[in-house]
Structure formats: structure tokens, C-alpha cells
Amino acid sequence: MTTKENGQRKPEERQEKTVKMPSKDEMTEKLRKAKLLGASSKIGERLFSTFIDLVAGRNEGASGLNLAWEVAKFDTSPGVSPLMAETLEMQYEAFVETVTPDPDVANRAKEVRREIREIQRQRMKQI
């Protein structure tokens, strides 16, 4: 984000901290060791696999991790019951904590996810 006047960042606009995400194989191994892979439904496995494909080896911050999760959910959501969708959503924090090498980025991603979920809840109340 830049100002229109001089193309410089405003002091209050800080860049999001990013981290180089592990390779697909490394993430898969971490998730297996944490018993997050192999113990889930086929839908969950597809969601996790899609997420891993989206972020493996890339520099990602909290927003990128959340966007990848949303894309993965969208790709695997057809035919998923609301209960299953919520069960998978509940695994986000453990999942991100397990695969993200930098605890600060993982914690920020979890905070952002909670904010997103709260906004979603508030919107549902308005309907």
C-alpha cells in the first residue's frame, strides 16, 4: 500500500511478516507426525493436500495462509455437510501451527482466522 503523493509507505502501514514455507514433503511429514494426516476423512485429506500444494516452498504471511485455506475449502466444499465443514475448520489452528516454521506467523494467521470467523458469525446473525 502506498500513498498517492509520493509512492512511499505510510508509517502505520507495516508489511506483513512472511516465512518460507516448507516443501510439500516436509509439511506432509510434519502433519503425519502430529497425527493430522491419515486420521481425517477423505474430504479433510483433500483440503489439507490442496492447502499444501498452494503454499509449499512459498513465502507466506498470515493473510496468504488464510487465503490458501479459503481456496482449499472452496475446492473441496461441494457436497460437504455443514457439520463436516465446521469440523475441518476446527483443525485450522493445529494445522497452521504444525506446518508454519515461524511461530509469530502461525500465531498471526490464527488471530486473522479468528477475526474472519467472527465476521462470518456476525453476518450470519444479520440474515
Between 39 and 125, where is the model more confident? 125
pTM value is 0.82
Compute CA distances 16 → 61, 63, 112, whole Å.
Answer: 6, 8, 12
- Percentage of the chain beyond pLDDT 70 is 87
Task: Please check whether residue 5 lies inside any domain of the structure.
Answer: no
The domain tally of the chain equals 1
- Report whether 32 contacts 49 (CB < 8 A): no
Which amino acid is residue 38, in one-letter code? G
Neighbour tally for 31: CB within 10 Å = 22
Task: Please check whether residue 119 lies inside any domain of the structure.
Answer: yes
Task: Please check whether residue 122 lies inside any domain of the structure.
Answer: yes
Which pLDDT tens digit goes with each residue over 58-92? 999 999 999 999 999 988 878 788 888 888 889 99
Task: State the pLDDT confidence band at 5, using cuts at 50, 70 and 90.
Answer: low
Which pLDDT tens digit goes with each residue over 108-119? 999 999 999 999
Task: Please check whether residue 7 lies inside any domain of the structure.
Answer: no
Question: Which residues constitute the domain of residue 75?
Answer: 19-126
Q: Give the residue carrying C-alpha cell 479459503.
A: 70
Task: Please check whether residue 115 lies inside any domain of the structure.
Answer: yes
Task: Please check whether residue 27 lies inside any domain of the structure.
Answer: yes
